[in-house]
């Protein structure tokens, strides 16, 4: 985990150095100042997005992979078991809004 932070900081400072270099080069070549600034901001914004996307692809599953786990607390919306509730009044397990046995709406989630 510490390795990824070091790598991220290296990329961040490299993009900062590249941005400053582009601004100096564009000023030397006679372009208007806003073109160098636009390129520098583009690099400074797009590079972390690219890094994050490449790291998510390396992880198992990525953003929308077809793994069985994922989603909220490991439950997938396609075929997961879902969230069941336990009634606090009669201790009955159910799915839905209110308890079908006693009608109480007091419940806790059971994972």
Give the number of other Cβ atoms within 10 Å of residue 38's Cβ. 13
Predicted pLDDT of residue 87: 92
Of 24-38, 57-71, 87-101, minimum mean pLDDT range: 57-71
Q: Where are the domains of the chain?
A: 2-58, 81-111
Predicted pLDDT of residue 66: 46
pLDDT above 60 (res 80): no
Predicted pLDDT of residue 34: 85
Task: Provide the H-helix boundaries in 1-111.
Answer: 2-29, 33-58
Going by C-beta distance under 8 Å and a sequence separation of 6 or more, which residues neighbour residue 92? 86, 99, 100, 101, 102
Distance between CA atoms of 79 and 76, rounded to whole angstroms?
Answer: 6
Predicted pLDDT of residue 67: 47
pTM: 0.41
């Amino acid at each position: 985990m510490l390795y990824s932070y070091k790598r991220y900081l290296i990329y961040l400072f490299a993009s900062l150095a590249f941005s400053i270099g582009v601004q100096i080069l564009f000023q030397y070549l006679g372009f208007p100042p806003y073109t160098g600034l636009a390129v520098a901001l583009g690099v400074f914004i797009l590079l972390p997005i690219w890094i994050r996307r490449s790291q998510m692809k390396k992880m198992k599953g990525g953003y929308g992979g077809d793994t069985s786990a994922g989603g909220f607390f490991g439950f997938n919306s396609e075929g997961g078991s879902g969230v069941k509730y336990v009634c606090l009044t009669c201790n009955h397990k159910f799915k839905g809004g209110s308890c079908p046995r006693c009608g109480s709406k007091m419940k806790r989630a059971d994972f």
